[in-house]
Amino acid sequence: MTTSREVAAVPVEDLLTEQRTEVLEEAYAALHRGPAEHYRHAGETVTRDRLAELFDLVVTALSDRELEPVSRYCETIAEQRFHAGFGISEVQTAFNVVEEAMWRHVVDGVPGEDLAESVGLLATILGFGKDVLARTYVSLASRRRVPSLDLTALFAGVE
């Protein structure tokens, strides 16, 4: 039993679920401020739904401690966005805005003694997801010439 001075430890996934609306609003506002042309073109409802889908996936992974669904989701998203003409930076930005909003709420809402574990779990899930996303996207891009990934000028003169 906790006293009035103690803060009951709330699992990070529960804290995020309680603050879902605020986290998603912050993420949408941040994405909307940036150069997210394809997300703006998709419209507010679709973009908000996509951010919510990512948020829910992360919260489920926090709860289940299972990364396989994250891997499948990120591979699918990479393929869909690649074929829709999204640049990798635009897709990574969507992940980043969700991550940043989640971090703010976790840092503000998790007691100090539980913060390292909570932040570690969140960073692991999102870092893993962004890695799968990037590897899948680059694999697709390597099959055809994509201007954003053309590194020939960087290596000009190297034999």
Query: What pLDDT is attached to residue 152?
Result: 57
Per-residue pLDDT tens digits for 28-65: 999 888 766 777 767 789 989 999 999 999 999 999 99
Per-residue pLDDT tens digits for 102-144: 999 999 998 889 899 999 999 999 999 999 999 999 999 888 6
Per-residue pLDDT tens digits for 135-148: 999 999 888 654 55
Query: What pLDDT is attached to residue 44?
Result: 84
> What are the sequence ranges of the domains in the chain?
12-142
> For every residue of the chain, which 3-state class applies, written as one string?
CCCCCCCCCCCHHHHHHHCHHHHHHHHHHHHHHCCCHHHHHHCHHHHHHHHHHHHHHHHHHHHHCCCHHHHHHHHHHHHHHHHCCCCHHHHHHHHHHHHHHHHHHHHHHCCHHHHHHHHHHHHHHHHHHHHHHHHHHHHHHCCCCCHHHCCCCCCCCCC
Task: With a cut of 80, say whether residue 15 has pLDDT above it.
Answer: yes
Q: Which residue has the higher pLDDT, 45 or 155?
A: 45
Per-residue pLDDT tens digits for 62-96: 999 999 999 999 999 999 999 998 888 888 999 99
The CATH number of domain 12-142 is 1.10.490.10:
yes
